[in-house]
Structure 1
Amino acid sequence: MIKPKRLKKGDTVGVVTPASPIDSSRLRRGIERLQGWGYKVKIHPSAYSRRGYLAGEDYARAQALNEVFADEEVDAIFCARGGYGSVRILPQIDYDNIKRNPKIFLGYSDITSLHLAIYRKTRLVSFLGPMVQTELSKRMPIYNRDSLLNALSDKTSRVPLRNPKGMGSWRILRGGVAEGILLGGNLTLIAMLAGTPYMPELKGKILFIEDTDEEPSSIDGMLFQLKLAGLLDKISGLVIGQFTNCKPTKSGRPSLSITQILRDVLAGTDYPVIYNFACGHGRYICTLPLGVRARIDTEKRMFTLLESGVM
């Protein structure tokens, strides 16, 4: 395991766009927020590029990521937004460069493919959390802000993770106790990487999943893909975040609820499962360090990080 150095006020945050193109005005507001928190910001020159639904050519987006990891002036790397396209640049990333220059790397949604690939190739702890254009450009719940800044700067060894009061507690779909390395992210991207050289080994891991704007039948298909690939049989525990707007798009069309789908796909497994954790595409997003040890204890209603993601 490799942990990046913690983020301090006065440090420089590099901003990259490995997926879809940015909205300049929203990105500017997000940058102003980072500066208001006491950080310097260095935007990679390619961040404003555009090629259809991508933020520029694949090689340019990959090169930008390689360059910010190598840049001695940059202390942490924040993604501007998700969208689509990160998976296209995985073969062009210099993973040895990342191992030589470990830094905080932050993003979620489409950035899941980068988190998984970086962990598989380097064992660097990276952070699933808010992005500069998407969340930092608008009014942030205090829960989101505190979770983000604590995850990136606090070296506290044990951190209990709880939902904000306005959301209510997460639910227990199956009880039990489990410990393991925490990995995961957006379900669509996890399913996309299954069976590729960029997917980490999930045996003994605690898996986190979330998704947005997908039909229940699509969620069903992706989960069963993971099940048929044997991946859901190997994990030690499952943390399910928010499945935002994952409802049938046609009124009256027969469907299953997300809970029904989860119970079907998890039949025959015996590890603890918690649902509706405050992370994903909803209002609340808890920043998760991917690659650290975590523990689920449903009897105590605890989901706990057993170590910090930074040093």
Structure 2
Amino acid sequence: MIGRRGALGLLGGLAGTALMPSGLAARASAMPPRLRPGDTVGLVAPASAVTLPAELDRAVHWISGMGLVPKLASHVGDQHGYLAGTDADRAADLDTMFADAEVRAIFAVRGGWGGARILPLLDWATIRANPKLLIGYSDTTALHMAIAARAGFATLHGPNAASRWDRASWESLWRIAFAGTAPVLGGAAAEDAAGRPARSLVPGVARGRLLGGNLTILSTMMGTGWLPDFDGAILFLEDINEEPYRIDRMLQQLQLAGVLDRLAGVVFGQCTRCSAGDADARTFTLDDVLGAHLAPLGIPVVTGFNSGHVRNQLCLPVNVPVELDAGARTLRMLEPAVA
């Protein structure tokens, strides 16, 4: 993990990195602002309740350690059943953070379930008028996809505020959100916590907007009208605690919905604890399922990319044009995510 001293040291060490190409400056008015040390950022809980005080304390610790000033949403500590407050209160918290001129970016404290419940309650005119990076993963996928569809600016699929921020997570956040660069993510040097690199299932190079996130959340949103257009996209997927037959079922849903056939490429991230629950020799492995669904698409596919419910996860720019090189197992941003 990386603490405040390490984070601020990295800021200094990377300060000479090139910034946003001038040819993209015209898009600045529709792009979230980049972050700088000392900026105020909002902490929200748009989904499950933050049930342990230590979890919120950890979120404040991590964000402060990045040199940022955390601002807690009014209902971030509420509990309404398994949710962090009522749908109306959680939506109001997010609206308030987007409208607050002092807040430069917004971090989800945790995931769980509940983000999709607030989508119809959000003030989308305010969100469109105040583009800011929303940072989080898992259930936050619902908000990432809705913002891509309804507001059109970039967000970041990365650790929640209360997650573990390792050096790989922090460095990718810094390059994308603070420096405003368009880095290459992944590659031979990027490994998961067990030292396993990503794998090239189908080699090749493809370009498109990076869309996606948690497979379970995406599959529940199919047919709702809250998803962006996947034509020509690079689709990123990850999940946790789903046996191969469930991954099979959800990928089949994406196939039947016509999503997979419209893609330019696929990046399947980490699927933590996604092996079969028994030793039945008749089962399929996760690799079997991915190969059956993704290899026949005839597009570049990488599996095991280090993002998802894992340590050392990379921050990925959602709704930003990228180049996937499946042979090299890299994602290269073609434009910055921030102005």
User: TM-score range, shorter-chain basis?
Assistant: over 0.9
Shift of 1:251: 4.1
Per the alignment, residue 32 of structure 2 pairs with 4
The structure 1 residue matched to 2:278, chosen from 232, 246, 250, is: 250
Per the alignment, residue 333 of structure 2 pairs with 305
Per the alignment, residue 240 of structure 2 pairs with 212
The structure 1 residue matched to 2:324, chosen from 272, 275, 296, is: 296
Change (3 A) 1:300 1:35: closer
Matched, 1:164 2:190: yes
Of 72-81 and 30-39, more deviation after overlay is shown by: 30-39
Change (3 A) 1:253 1:95: farther
Shift of 1:307: 1.7
Any stretches of 5+ residues in structure 2 without a counterpart?
1-26
AA aligned opposite 2:180: K
Distance 1:231 1:188 in 2: 15
Any stretches of 5+ residues in structure 1 without a counterpart?
none
Per the alignment, residue 266 of structure 1 pairs with 294
The structure 2 residue matched to 1:287, chosen from 305, 311, 315, is: 315
Runs of 4+ in 1 over 6 A off after TM superposition: none
C-alpha RMSD over aligned residues: 1.6
In the TM superposition, what are the counterparts of 1:155-234 in structure 2 within 5 Å? 155-162=180-187, 164-165=190-191, 167-234=195-262
Q: Deviations over 1:53-82 (max 9, x none)?
A: 111111111111111100112111000000
Distance 1:297 1:164 in 2: 14
Total equivalences in the alignment: 307
- Residues 185 and 314 in structure 2, CA contact (< 8 A), matched pair in contact too: no
Per the alignment, residue 16 of structure 1 pairs with 44
Shift of 1:98: 0.7
- Residues 210 and 319 in structure 2, CA contact (< 8 A), matched pair in contact too: yes
Shift of 1:34: 1.7
Distance 2:328 2:244 in 1: 31
Per the alignment, residue 28 of structure 1 pairs with 57
- TM-score norm. by structure 2 comes to 0.87
Counterpart of 2:134 in 1: which secondary structure? strand
- Residues 47 and 113 in structure 2, CA contact (< 8 A), matched pair in contact too: yes
- Residues 206 and 236 in structure 1, CA contact (< 8 A), matched pair in contact too: yes
Distance 1:157 1:134 in 2: 24
- Residues 44 and 109 in structure 2, CA contact (< 8 A), matched pair in contact too: yes
Matched, 1:106 2:135: yes
Counterpart of 2:46 in 1: which secondary structure? coil
Counting aligned pairs with the same residue, the percent is 39
- Residues 119 and 125 in structure 1, CA contact (< 8 A), matched pair in contact too: yes
In the TM superposition, what are the counterparts of 1:111-190 in structure 2 within 5 Å? 111-135=140-164, 140-162=165-187, 164-165=190-191, 167-190=195-218
Change (3 A) 1:14 1:227: same
Distance 1:272 1:55 in 2: 39
Per the alignment, residue 277 of structure 1 pairs with 305
- TM-score norm. by structure 1 comes to 0.94
Shift of 1:253: 6.9
AA aligned opposite 1:187: L
